[in-house]
A and B are shown apart, each in its own frame.
Chain A
């Protein structure tokens, strides 16, 4: 009997999981949630739907800054998820995304859990950006690709040639959906209503109301208008989780019930996604996503740059803001040399699940390396990275350039002055 293949995109906010024959993946929250009103249980992964009252949720997340750091929490979440899908691990193999195979930073412990604890037969590791790039190379026959992954923990831009990562071109911006939601909570809590504990509700509010402005200065002028002429200001009626379960967007001119709590957003609607394009707006000393695309292309060999600019693919949940693609295209166009063509791909229907679908087509149509239990017992860590982390420049060629003092980012030591 042939093995069942499971494709598992382990995102920081939602996991995208499904078998290779599925029509579309399931979206399962990658967190354990505790509620104030429910003292007798916690809600693991998809059980979050059973939580009736989503005020003041407390999240226990395994992933921090894009990497799994709490492996026992992650194991419990995976156990609950595999159990709900009725996965028989002994006759299955799994393709798992992990950001260590885009930017290696932490030890990868997942194989031990997948082989020893769950009993899978074979494992394939990759990252979401690599799946998209290899799909573009093998299915769409594009030689070069730039993948912009704007997710929950961060935003990365990486360039690939023939599906292989050009490691110098990887740019990491420490702004993702989590930072945007936290910043929106800060702003609303200071300006209107204390929502600092309402992560779930404000995250939904961000998804419903925020948009990327195509002309920031004009939007700022519009937001300064008086009440009657202001078309940016909207009112968001908070859900009460008895009769309403998701907030309602209304115009501020419509009458509303003062008993129901609500917030009105004006400047915040476009200033929140603007942080992705200008992190310096909130004092993060990094460039935005459009400048990162230019920087990534410029770090590649000269001959590849025109082809890279012709194939830019945007994925990730934080790129779902309306207008994100158009704004990125316009800004990158203004910074590219005039003789380069530019094409931001239109094929991404759902940026959240696009990498899963790319993995599905890739694993169906072409061969990828798998490692089994016996191979992993012999060589383990080095085998994984030599098989799954494919870069244009090999490790031996970097021997003289990597030493421990070569750090571009230095964490500042905090000396308390208060």
Chain B
């Protein structure tokens, strides 16, 4: 246990990222020796996605398959201490300028980029036309990604290697969102329907998608024409869709896979014991929450929701189920600069069953009531255990909870979006810009507002923060929004953030994960064997 605590502390420290300079992040292999070429890296990942089309699905599974194939205009810095870095570095654009008034973004593109040599693109040069075609597709397809370009009025290409974005009003998170995983740049041919984007991917990235067998594996091979000299180091990458945790653990133990990712305390301990020389990296990536359908009575009463929040013993839950954890806010602590200070998050969410009972009595339910709770086992068994924990806590203050364990598809695509539930337990997606964790969930018309939050003042505040271009000012304002959510909305109820552990075989080098989906760092990975 002591070791675990020390370990968590160490991990927290490593999470505090200083913005690394570009040269550092691209040249970080120095300390690990000279990279060797060759070898194939294999690991288990999320379940197979429905489609590989980046603009049809924001699913992590889609992005983890295609991230190796595509590039974006700009991307996030990756490196040993850069897990949640929001520092933007060049990708297809070699540099860029933002006008004084924040309404014009000019990107200068690399002129040495070629598409992968696959029909119908056949290795032609990448130009500004591809960028424009991709952006048009994003704007025209329905879906959350179009949101990012709402304030973009027009995009023009004065020549083959320059792209200009004209905005109607300043939009603070634009660069961040262009660097984020929905903005993969497709070849022009693909946007014209000449490529089967659901099942294949042709990009400019370090790896070529060789084959994708649903339910079996996605295999990638090195792109010999990749624009960064000498990269990637690996000959190939193989991604298996997730099996049950025992299978994954055993595959890693026997060396069949090179990396494994787990959030389970028990797997963590098993792996630590059975593969003692593995490299371990733990990062706060994910968080759980209790979402409440406030279109139903008595859950529309804020006192009831606050009582629920007070009733939950968060620290106890994370200690016994995950072995680690941290008080979470409406902006996750992965966005270190943007999240509320830890003390404040803790203050808002202290365990206080007596206070909860009082609140419930004040709301007119001294004897409690009965609700049903939806949860899925699609994220692994821990979440169901957590649901049982929360149900017990709520029972303590008189709220009887009936748990319904649903299959992932029913949970995520049916019951939750159509508000056919009382309360539920789910996860929070990590984001790279704070607005992404506010706008979709809490604006009355947010695309993932599946809780029925409807607060005009909050809507206005969320709209306002987009217009603040000064970073420090915006941080202050976002903090205000978060406090407002804690005090006046309390839906969802945050549970806690916790670690995901990466175990790497001792010979795996340069595997430095980043919270944004798509394995941005894979070009830097090499095998020392």
**Genuine A/B complex:** no
